[in-house]
């Protein structure tokens, strides 16, 4: 026994030794592709056979690529050595890979020996895809690695420690089309840094420390991600050449106003969420405490409507800003706008301004969740004739009573903002609206015919504590409504009045005080029913509606064990 204990460390060391481990036999092989991922290799595997074109060595412990370990790989086109401990790459090794097109070296230690490694990289004449992410590379190190890669098309330098982009960084790789510089410490972009990259289409600068983008001149870019920086200013260069930009992400910055993009005629997706934008109206002054010390601010003409040129924008996200007013006129020039989010702002009102009665917006999906809205006038819905989906959760809106007619007329009349005496919002006669959320609006009573002649497919009324539904509250939705949520309303059966909803497929009644099921269920062909956390002791006799059920949730009820016959259904 003592002898075995004495020999045990030596046995374990022998098993862990790469010389004793038959690692190549553990690799998954096909005629031209080999995968040795996660096998604990410490050296480049030998005897893998000739003709391999695709080799995966990620998640091992390889520290160097040496020519002595790499015979017979002259056909190799793809090499993945990510997530190793790679410090050294020899020129001899790379010279034996003349056909290499893709080299993935992310998550290694290439900041060490970078001078010798970079010299070896000069032999990568045909490399098109290079991953150097998460290697602790500083700016000058990255510049040296790519200083002579004239065929390079895709480059990943994310997750390094680059603090500035030097003017000559990309001079040796002029054919780049896709460049990822995200998650570095970039605070400065020297003038002309991107000038050699005339073919660049996708640029990711997210998660850096940039404060100002002035004179943006990369007109050939299609996609630009500048999210999660500290940008207070973004301005494009004043030139005659139009921009080809289609996707621009400026979210999670410190922008105080809508960016001016007079030449971005092809832009389709614009993300401005999580900024400090307080107004969309022209001429709105900046708060005194945010006056910027940039000389470029002097040339801005704030009387120009910044959205005037964005005629192709289909998706605009302005959520998590500081907007207090929803000016419809600002969005009027966005003729292609389909999805608009103004969620989690400080909206209290909507402004009509100088819009004519015939002015219409093309928006199909509108998110106004988590604002301070108390009322939306009738003309607001008239201005959105294509509206299909609307999220008004976490506001203070009370639906009006329709009584099956047009009672109340055009609430708000022709006034430019809602009148002080208006206390409810007309959700009836909105012919295109299919999905509506009024969750957490403190609705105390749902009036009769509140959604008459609005063909809703889904309706969310959850989180309105002590909600009471009038007998005819959902009248008019019998043939259209498919999903209804009354979750977490603390309602008892006397407050839940459901009509004959023949199209209803999903019903959420969880988080209430029901001791009986609503009688209106007898008309529905429910497939999903959520009854969790109520006061149900039994479901009683189940009608034909229960036969269509596919999912039912019943936990959190005080069921009587002697009245479980309904389970047989």
* Average pLDDT rounded to a whole number, residues 538-552: 83
Range of the domain at 220: 210-282+305-391
Query: pLDDT confidence of 19, banded at 50, 70, 90?
Result: very low
**Can you give the C-alpha Rg of the chain in angstroms?**
32
Out of 31-45, 126-140, 410-424, pick the least confident.
410-424
Query: pLDDT confidence of 407, banded at 50, 70, 90?
Result: very low
Contact present, 278 and 323 (Cβ < 8 Å): yes
451: nearest Cα among 476, 468, 484? 476
Query: pLDDT confidence of 7, banded at 50, 70, 90?
Result: very low
Q: Looking at per-residue confidence, does 423 or 135 come out higher?
A: 135
Instruction: Indicate whether 191 belongs to any domain.
Output: no
* Average pLDDT rounded to a whole number, residues 274-292: 72
Out of 34-38, 414-418, 547-551, pick the least confident.
414-418
Out of 20-34, 36-50, 257-271, 540-554, pick the least confident.
20-34
Instruction: Indicate whether 345 belongs to any domain.
Output: yes
Q: What is the pLDDT of residues 80-130, one digit of tens each?
A: 999 999 999 999 999 999 999 999 999 999 999 999 999 999 999 999 999
Checking if the pLDDT of 6 tops 60, the result is no
Contact present, 24 and 46 (Cβ < 8 Å): yes
CA 218 to chain centre: 24
Q: Which two tokens mark 510?
A: 């969880």
Checking if the pLDDT of 291 tops 90, the result is no
What pLDDT score was predicted for residue 197? 96
75: nearest Cα among 106, 46, 53? 53
Instruction: Indicate whether 97 belongs to any domain.
Output: no
Checking if the pLDDT of 414 tops 50, the result is no
Give the CA distances from residue 130 to residues 88, 155, 219, 222, in Å, rounded to whole numbers and listed in that order.
16, 5, 24, 21
Task: Label residues 391-404 b or e (16+ Cβ within 10 Å = b).
Answer: bbbbbebbbbbbee
Question: What backbone torsions phi and psi does residue 381 show, to the nearest 5 degrees?
Answer: -75, -30
What pLDDT score was predicted for residue 262? 81
Query: Alpha-carbon distance 328 to 383, whole Å?
Result: 8
pTM: 0.88
Query: pLDDT confidence of 420, banded at 50, 70, 90?
Result: very low
The DSSP code sequence of 341-410 is E--SS---EEE-TT--TT-----SEEE--SS------HHHHHT-TT--EEE--SS---BPP-TTTTTT-S
Name every residue whose Cβ is closer than 8 Å to that of residue 334 and which is 6 or more positions away in sequence.
Answer: 307, 310, 311, 313, 316, 361, 362
Instruction: Indicate whether 218 belongs to any domain.
Output: yes
Domains: count for the chain: 1
Out of 143-157, 196-210, 414-428, pick the least confident.
414-428
What pLDDT score was predicted for residue 298? 52
CATH code, 324: 3.80.10.10
Instruction: Indicate whether 380 belongs to any domain.
Output: yes
Average pLDDT score over the chain = 87
Query: Alpha-carbon distance 117 to 406, whole Å?
Result: 77
What pLDDT score was predicted for residue 355? 56
Query: Alpha-carbon distance 146 to 122, whole Å?
Result: 8
Instruction: Indicate whether 334 belongs to any domain.
Output: yes
Instruction: Indicate whether 248 belongs to any domain.
Output: yes
Percentage of residues in the chain having pLDDT higher than 90 = 69
Q: What is the pLDDT of residues 471-528, one digit of tens each?
A: 899 999 999 999 999 999 999 999 998 999 999 999 999 999 999 999 888 888 999 9
Q: Looking at per-residue confidence, does 520 or 304 come out higher?
A: 520
Q: Which two tokens mark 217?
A: 């001149």
Instruction: Indicate whether 490 belongs to any domain.
Output: no
What pLDDT score was predicted for residue 175? 97
* Average pLDDT rounded to a whole number, residues 299-316: 73
200: nearest Cα among 219, 217, 176? 176
Query: pLDDT confidence of 18, banded at 50, 70, 90?
Result: very low
CA 54 to chain centre: 33
Q: Which two tokens mark 350?
A: 């909507």
Sign of CA dihedral 437, 440, 446, 447: negative
């Amino acid at each position: 026994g003592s002898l075995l204990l004495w020999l045990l460390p030596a046995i374990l060391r022998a098993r862990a030794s790469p010389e004793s481990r038959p690692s190549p036999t553990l690799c998954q092989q096909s005629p031209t592709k080999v995968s040795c991922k996660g096998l604990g290799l410490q050296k480049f595997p030998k005897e893998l056979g000739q003709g391999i074109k695709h080799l995966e060595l990620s998640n091992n412990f390889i520290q160097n690529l040496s020519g002595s370990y790499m015979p017979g790989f002259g056909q190799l086109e793809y090499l993945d050595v990510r997530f190793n401990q790679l410090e050294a790459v020899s020129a001899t090794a790379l010279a034996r890979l003349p056909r290499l097109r893709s080299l993935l070296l992310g998550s290694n230690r290439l900041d060490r020996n970078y001078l010798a490694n970079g010299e070896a990289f000069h032999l990568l004449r045909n490399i098109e895809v290079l991953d150097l992410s998460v290697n602790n590379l500083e700016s000058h190190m990255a510049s040296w690695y790519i200083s002579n890669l004239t065929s390079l098309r895709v480059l990943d330098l994310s997750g390094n420690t680059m603090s500035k982009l030097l003017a000559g960084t990309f001079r040796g790789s002029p054919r780049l089309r896709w460049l990822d510089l995200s998650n570095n410490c970039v605070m400065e972009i020297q003038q002309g840094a991107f000038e050699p990259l005339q073919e660049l289409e996708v640029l990711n600068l997210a998660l850096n420390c940039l404060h100002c983008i002035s004179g943006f001149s990369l007109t050939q870019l299609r996609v630009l991600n500048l999210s999660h920086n500290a940008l207070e200013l973004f301005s494009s260069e004043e030139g005659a050449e139009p921009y080809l930009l289609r996707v621009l992400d400026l979210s999670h910055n410190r922008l105080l106003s809508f960016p001016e993009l007079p030449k971005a005629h092809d832009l389709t997706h614009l993300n401005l969420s999580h900024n400090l934008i307080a107004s969309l109206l022209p001429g709105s002054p900046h708060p005194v405490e945010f006056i910027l010390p940039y000389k470029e601010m002097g040339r801005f003409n704030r009387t120009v409507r910044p959205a005037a040129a964005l005629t192709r924008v289909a998706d605009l996200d302005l959520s998590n800003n500081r907007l207090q007013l929803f000016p419809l006129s600002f969005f009027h020039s966005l003729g292609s706008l389909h999805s608009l989010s103004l969620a989690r702002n400080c909206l209290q009102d909507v402004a009509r301004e100088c819009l004519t009665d015939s002015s219409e917006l093309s928006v199909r999906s509108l998110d106004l969740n988590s604002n301070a809205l108390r009322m939306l006038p009738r003309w607001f819905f008239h201005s959105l004739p294509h509206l299909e989906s609307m999220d008004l959760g976490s506001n203070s809106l009370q639906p009006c009573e329709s009584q099956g007619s047009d009672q109340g007329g055009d609430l708000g009349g022709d006034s430019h903002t809602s009148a002080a005496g208006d206390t409810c919002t007309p959700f009836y006669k909105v012919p295109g609206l299919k999905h509506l959320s009024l969750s957490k609006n403190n609705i105390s009573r749902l009036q009769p015919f509140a959604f008459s002649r609005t063909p809703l497919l889904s309706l969310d009324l959850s989180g309105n504590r002590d909600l009471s539904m009038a007998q005819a509250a959902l009248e008019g939705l019998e043939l259209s409504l498919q999903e209804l949520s009354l979750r977490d309303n603390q309602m008892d059966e006397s407050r839940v009045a459901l009509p004959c909803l023949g199209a209803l497929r999903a019903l959420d009644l969880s988080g209430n005080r029901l001791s009986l099921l609503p009688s209106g269920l007898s008309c529905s062909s429910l497939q999903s029913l959520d009854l969790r956390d109520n006061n149900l002791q039994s479901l009683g006799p189940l009608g034909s509606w229960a036969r269509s059920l596919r999912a039912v949730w019943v936990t959190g009820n005080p069921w009587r064990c002697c009245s479980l016959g309904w389970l047989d259904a």
